[in-house]
Chains A and B, each alone.
Chain A
Amino acid sequence: MRTALVILIWALVTPLFAQQPANEEGRASFRVVDIYVDSKRAPLAAYQLKFSMTNANAKIVGIEGGEHPAFREPPAYDPQAIQHERVIIAAFNTGSSDELPKGKARVATIHVQTTGGDALQCTLKVQTAANPEGTKIAVEAQRLPISSITRQ
């Protein structure tokens, strides 16, 4: 019985040590990149943006929705973008003007993993945006790296 207990404890503890080899490969950093769209005074009903990273060891690991209720759900994106360095995100809301953001609004957050200590280099391009009537509008997009969560 005692032997079985020792074996059980050993089986449970060993995998914890097995994770340590990650340190041998380099320290992985997780960063969140907030994506903002500024529609000036127009209500923003739809947007499509392309986000790309040029760091050699950077990859997208997750995508979340934004802060405004109209874009709280995660945007549409190609699942193949996960674990790679670029993605196209897009979303729309068929609500009325009152229900849509005006001005600068966080529409999405992209989670990125990098290895090494280099600063994240990325670009964000607006592909299209529209008001509630479906008419294209000019918007500016901005990405803000907020924090870095480093796993040791």
Chain B
Amino acid sequence: MNNDVPREEDLKAPPRLIEALKQACSERIFVPPTIDQTIFKAAERQLSPSGRGRVRPFWWWSALTTTAVLVAFALVTVQWQRSANGRFALEDVNRDGQIDILDAFALALQVKQGRSLEKRLDLNGDGVIDEKDVATIAEHAVKLERGGRS
């Protein structure tokens, strides 16, 4: 049995191998926005003052939550369709709150026009923003959420 501890230089990998390994694992998996929203809503419930177990007089708490529900209802009908900074999915190129073929189309137009593009649009992680990233968005746009059957 070999008890020798490997030398540090034996634990290094050449840059080409590292690049190949990263490419092997670079395929991005599409996360439906509904999952993001589920997490965000859970965060709001957990982190809001009422979610942290503070004791309040019932009547005051009822009035507060009723008001909050009405305000939240009004906001939700608009807010999830709009953006706050950093809340858009990467694939939502046109930032309309939906990931669909129009996002692939928008990126395709920008690629065709040769515009300088943000790094975040390199969706397949290959270092280049091109038709492959457009195809990545298109694939996500038409993906059935639960395979071929609902």
Say whether A and B bind each other. Answer: yes
Label chain A's interface by main secondary structure.
strand
B127 at the interface (CB under 8 A from A): no
B148 at the interface (CB under 8 A from A): yes
Across the interface, name the chain A residue whose C-beta is closest to B113.
Answer: A94
Docked-complex contact A78 and B143, CB < 8 angstroms? yes
Q: With a CB–CB cut-off of 8 A, which chain A residues contact B150?
A: 86
Q: With a CB–CB cut-off of 8 A, which chain A residues contact B102?
A: 46, 48, 92, 128, 130, 134, 136
CB distance from A99 to the nearest CB of B (A): 13
How far does the alpha carbon of A77 sit from the alpha carbon of B148 in the complex, in Å? 11
Docked-complex contact B101 and A90, CB < 8 angstroms? yes
How far does the alpha carbon of A136 sit from the alpha carbon of B105 in the complex, in Å? 12
Q: With a CB–CB cut-off of 8 A, which chain B residues contact A86?
A: 144, 148-150
Q: B: which residues have CB within 8 A of A?
A: 94, 98, 100-102, 104-106, 108-109, 112, 135, 138-139, 141-144, 147-150
Docked-complex contact A85 and B142, CB < 8 angstroms? no
How far does the alpha carbon of A27 sit from the alpha carbon of B36 in the complex, in Å? 46
CB distance from A74 to the nearest CB of B (A): 12
Interface residues on A, range: 20 to 34
How far does the alpha carbon of A47 sit from the alpha carbon of B34 in the complex, in Å? 22
Q: A: which residues have CB within 8 A of B?
A: 45-48, 75-78, 80-92, 94, 127-128, 130, 134, 136
How far does the alpha carbon of A80 sit from the alpha carbon of B144 in the complex, in Å? 8
Q: With a CB–CB cut-off of 8 A, which chain B residues contact A88?
A: 141-144
Docked-complex contact A82 and B141, CB < 8 angstroms? no
Q: With a CB–CB cut-off of 8 A, which chain B residues contact A128?
A: 98, 100-102
How far does the alpha carbon of A91 sit from the alpha carbon of B142 in the complex, in Å? 10
Docked-complex contact B147 and A48, CB < 8 angstroms? no
Q: With a CB–CB cut-off of 8 A, which chain B residues contact A134?
A: 94, 102, 105-106, 109
CB distance from B4 to the nearest CB of A (A): 50
A-B contact pairs, 20 of them (CB 8 A): A46-B101, A46-B102, A46-B105, A48-B100, A78-B142, A83-B148, A84-B147, A85-B148, A86-B150, A87-B142, A91-B101, A92-B101, A92-B102, A92-B105, A94-B112, A128-B98, A128-B100, A130-B102, A134-B94, A134-B102
Across the interface, name the chain A residue whose C-beta is closest to B149.
Answer: A84
Q: A46-B102, A76-B142 are in contact. Are A94 and B108 (CB under 8 A)?
A: yes
Question: Which of B100, B109, B147, B148 has the largest number of chain A CB atoms within 10 A?
Answer: B148
How far does the alpha carbon of A88 sit from the alpha carbon of B142 in the complex, in Å? 5
Docked-complex contact B109 and A84, CB < 8 angstroms? no
Across the interface, name the chain B residue whose C-beta is closest to A81.
Answer: B148
How far does the alpha carbon of A119 sit from the alpha carbon of B19 in the complex, in Å? 55
Docked-complex contact B144 and A45, CB < 8 angstroms? no
How far does the alpha carbon of A85 sit from the alpha carbon of B108 in the complex, in Å? 30
